[in-house]
Chains A and B, each alone.
Chain A
Amino acid sequence: MDENLRREIILDHYTNPLNKKIPENKENYEKINTNNSSCIDNLDIYIEIKDNLIKDICFTGEACAISTSSCSIMIHNLIGKTIKEAKEYILNFKNMIDELPYNEDILNEALAYNNIYKQNNRKHCAFLPYEGILKILAKYE
């Protein structure tokens, strides 16, 4: 990916993150905190699941540009997916971060993190929001 485009995507989502708010009908959502002991990123993620479908995701908290933008892009990509699709998507994203074979076609803007492995200390920033979501999805078959 072109470096300028990469930066633009990340900065865009950092400056104007999607759904960075507490959802209006909080009671319909499951909430999970995700943070990392080795850095100070700390996000609360709210997810609404109905009939095996991810209907909505919101988040709040304080986090760096990488975590925040990654969360925003994740939300964009996960809303509307079934639990199974979401898990596949996340595994695919994780493979990219871990330098394993992955499918580029389904990641769209999340490809902005395809060279994050070069900065070891930021890998966990990019994956942090996914960790939270995975904890919730684990409860669903």
Chain B
Amino acid sequence: MNREDFPMLNKDIIYLDNGATTLKPQVVIDKIVDYYTNYSANAHRGDYDISFKVDQEYEQAREKVRQFINAQKREEIIFTSGSTESLNMIANGFFKNYLEPTDEILITTSEHASNVLPWFHLQNTIGVQVKYIPLDNNHYVTLDNVIKSITPNTKVIALAGITNVIGDERPIKEICHLAHQHNIFVVMDASQYVPHRKTDVVDLDVDFLAFSGHKMCGPTGIGVLYGKKELLEELEPLNLGGGMNESFDSPNEVYFKELPARLEAGTPNIAGAIGLGAAIDYLTKIGMTKIQEYEINLRKYALEKLIKIPYLDILNIESDSGIIAFNVEGIFSQDVAYYLNKYNICVRAGNHCAKNLKSEVGVKNSIRLSLYFYNTESEIDDLVELLSNKEKMRIEMI
């Protein structure tokens, strides 16, 4: 649906790599061009009209994000460069100071590198232990396995809301409920969740949440760190400098601003934030529930066809998102991607930044289709037709 809104869709491509990044609708592009064309000034320097407008637009974007994920306060929304930066800020700005060497952090083998390496870093620097919640046969996180993994030392559970290879949705709300009974914090990597679900941080009751604008029709280089206000107050700013200080008469007389400015040092990605605001308006107008339903139906349509191809090994028959990961028997995943590329079909081959998943699913690399609301059944038909002819694939993959 809504294909006419996307200039990239006039380019005769079938874009099935939305897990990596999404296409941008014209309204988002226009909003960014409007900033650079009509009021291209810095923020927080409102001495003249166009700069005042920048402040207004930037803060309006924050308000849009707040409403979109139902955060209670504007101070709880910090603009970052993306999920990766948000997760690193959570680990290094908050937990590095909070955790003791005997504490444990629970993650899973299907996390993205950006929700693994910041925790490994804490293990290597302050001596905490990173442990894994076992996945069930469908590579899902069950509440039961979370319960079994919790020890008296567990202090953090850091999980993707939806994973980027299997596409399973985690019971985050239930996990938060359980975790909080044991004084455990929950960090949600919502990179693949916020773009595809109606998000309500109050209902989920997560302590921290991270997502990127570019995976939800917004620009690259902008993302969000959400945290409960009382926790963000304790998050040490890792970047110090302009925009975040109140005064600095001498090294021991440095005063920082209040949230959210304290955690946004330097000139922010203004165009990015404003563009993300436009993307949020756009998605809201379509409706997140409608987007979710559409994607799940389209995945079902694709799966029913792909499953009939005997030499396809589908890694995630069970999944809650628009992601299908598979391999073609006897053909390296990258060769399949090259073959599809000859027909202008964009899919990703590789480990999808989830290198630890190898131990879980038994294969290192796969081809990943990741759908969004602008994909169609006819695109799936074209893909299925190309995959249905293995001999053609073998001949044309080189």
C-alpha spacing A66/B334, complex, angstroms? 10
Closest to B339 in A: A65
Given the known inter-chain contacts A40-B349, A40-B351, please indicate yes or no for A65 contacting B365, CB distance below 8 A. Answer: no
Contact in complex: B395, A65 (CB < 8 Å): no
| B94 shortest CB reach to chain A, Å | 31
Q: Is B333 an interface residue (CB 8 A)?
A: yes
Check A137 for interface membership: any CB of B closer than 8 A.
no
Contact B395 A7 (CB under 8 A): yes
Chain A interface, >50% SS class: helix
B257 at the interface (CB under 8 A from A): no
B398 touches A41 (CB 8 A): no
In the complex, which residues of chain B have a beta carbon less than 8 angstroms from the beta carbon of A69? 398
- Main SS at interface, chain B: mixed
B221 sits at the interface (CB 8 A): no
A123 at the B interface (CB under 8 A): no
Identity of the chain B residue whose Cβ is nearest the Cβ of A63 in the assembled complex: B332
Q: Is B394's CB within 8 Å of the partner chain A?
A: yes
| Interface size counted on chain B using CB atoms at 8 A | 15
Which residue from B332, B338, B365, B394 sits with its C-beta under 8 Å from A11?
A: B394
* Beta-carbon contact of A39 and B398 below 8 Å: no
Interface flags for A81-125 (1: CB within 8 Å of B; 0: not) read: 000000000000000000000000000000000000001011000
Tell which of B331, B332, B394, B395 touches A62, judged by Cβ atoms closer than 8 Å: B332
Is the beta-carbon distance between A65 and B398 smaller than 8 angstroms?
Answer: yes
Q: Does B335 contact A (CB under 8 A)?
A: yes
Instruction: Give chain B residues whose Cβ lies under 8 Å from the Cβ of A78.
Output: none
Smallest CB-CB A-B distances: 4 pairs: A64-B334, A40-B350, A64-B332, A64-B335
B interface residues with partner A (beta carbon < 8 Å) = 331-335, 338, 349-351, 364-365, 394-395, 397-398
14 residue pairs from A and B, CB less than 8 Å apart: A7-B395, A11-B398, A39-B334, A39-B350, A40-B349, A40-B365, A41-B334, A62-B364, A65-B397, A65-B398, A68-B332, A69-B398, A119-B338, A121-B338
Interface residues of A (CB under 8 A from B): 7, 10-11, 14, 39-41, 62-66, 68-69, 119, 121-122
Contacts A63-B332, A64-B334 known; list 9 others, CB within 8 Å. Answer: A7-B398, A39-B350, A40-B349, A40-B351, A62-B365, A64-B332, A65-B397, A68-B332, A69-B398
